[in-house]
Chain A
Amino acid sequence: MKPAPFQWHPASSLDEAVALLARYAPEDGRVIAGGQSLVPSMALRVALPAHLIDINGIASLARLEVEAGRLSIGACVRHAAFEHPVEPGVLGRLLATVAANIAHAPIRTRGTFCGSLANADPASEWCLVAATLGATLVAVSARGTREVAAADWFHGIMTTALAEDELLAEARLPLLATDARAGFHEFSRRAGDYALAMSLCTFRVVEGRMREARVGVGGVEPQPRRIPEAERLLEGERPEPETFARAARAAADAVDPLEDIRTRAAYRRDLVAASVRRSLQAACDDTH
Chain B
Amino acid sequence: MTPRIDITLNVNGSDHDIRVEPRRTLADALRQDCGLTGTNVGCEHGVCGACTVLLDGEPVRSCLMFAVQAQGRRLRTVEGLANAEGLHPLQQAFTDHHALQCGYCTPGFLMLAVGTLERHPDIDDESLREVLSSNLCRCTGYQNILRAVRAVRDSRRLAREDAR
Q: Which residues of the other chain, A, contact B44 by a CB distance below 8 angstroms?
A: 1-2, 43
Distance (Å) between the CB of A121 and the closest chain B CB? Answer: 14
Distance (Å) between the CB of A194 and the closest chain B CB? Answer: 11
Q: A159 near B: Cβ within 8 Å?
A: no
**Cβ of B64 and Cβ of A35 under 8 Å apart?**
yes
**Cβ of B60 and Cβ of A104 under 8 Å apart?**
no
CB contact list, A77-114 vs B, under 8 A: 80, 100, 104-107, 109-110
**Cβ of B23 and Cβ of A110 under 8 Å apart?**
no
Report the bound CA distance from A111 to B144 in whole Å. Answer: 30
Specify the chain B residue showing the minimal Cβ separation from A38: B64
Say which one of B8-16, B65-73, B78-86, B152-160 lies at the interface with A: B65-73
Specify the chain B residue showing the minimal Cβ separation from A191: B133
**Cβ of B23 and Cβ of A6 under 8 Å apart?**
yes
Contact A5:B21 (CB < 8 A) given known A35-B64, A43-B63: yes
Specify the chain A residue showing the minimal Cβ separation from B108: A106
Annotate B105-148 by CB proximity to A: 1 below 8 A, 0 otherwise: 00000001000100000000000001101100000000000000
Specify the chain B residue showing the minimal Cβ separation from A35: B64
**Cβ of B2 and Cβ of A5 under 8 Å apart?**
yes
How many interface residues does A have (CB within 8 Å)?
29
Q: A231 near B: Cβ within 8 Å?
A: no
Distance (Å) between the CB of B161 and the closest chain A CB? Answer: 26
Distance (Å) between the CB of A11 and the closest chain B CB? Answer: 13
Q: Which residues of the other chain, A, contact B68 by a CB distance below 8 angstroms?
A: 8, 10
**Cβ of A104 and Cβ of B133 under 8 Å apart?**
yes
Choice from A8, A10, A36, A52 contacting B46 with Cβ under 8 Å: A36
**Cβ of A110 and Cβ of B65 under 8 Å apart?**
yes
Q: Which residues of the other chain, A, contact B25 by a CB distance below 8 angstroms?
A: 2-3, 39
Interface size class of B (residues with CB under 8 A): 20 to 34
Contact A106:B112 (CB < 8 A) given known A2-B28, A56-B69: yes
Contact A106:B61 (CB < 8 A) given known A5-B21, A44-B45: yes
**Cβ of A39 and Cβ of B1 under 8 Å apart?**
no
Q: A156 near B: Cβ within 8 Å?
A: no
Q: Which residues of the other chain, A, contact B112 by a CB distance below 8 angstroms?
A: 105-106
Choice from A40, A80, A191 contacting B64 with Cβ under 8 Å: A40
Q: B33 near A: Cβ within 8 Å?
A: no
Contact A110:B133 (CB < 8 A) given known A7-B2, A8-B22, A43-B44: no
Q: Which residues of the other chain, B, contact A106 by a CB distance below 8 angstroms?
A: 49, 52, 58-61, 112, 134
| Those 7 A-B pairs whose CB atoms lie nearest each other, nearest first | A104-B134, A8-B22, A40-B45, A106-B59, A5-B2, A43-B45, A39-B64
A contacts, CB < 8 Å to B: 1-8, 10, 35-36, 39-40, 42-44, 52, 54, 56, 80, 100, 104-107, 109-110, 191-192
| Other A-B pairs beyond A8-B68, A40-B47, 10, CB < 8 Å | A2-B28, A4-B23, A5-B22, A6-B2, A6-B22, A36-B46, A39-B64, A43-B63, A80-B58, A192-B134
Interface pairs (27), CB distance under 8 Å: A1-B44, A2-B28, A4-B23, A6-B2, A8-B5, A8-B22, A35-B65, A36-B46, A39-B25, A39-B46, A39-B63, A40-B47, A43-B44, A43-B63, A104-B49, A104-B133, A104-B134, A105-B116, A105-B134, A106-B52, A106-B112, A106-B134, A107-B134, A109-B58, A109-B59, A191-B133, A192-B133
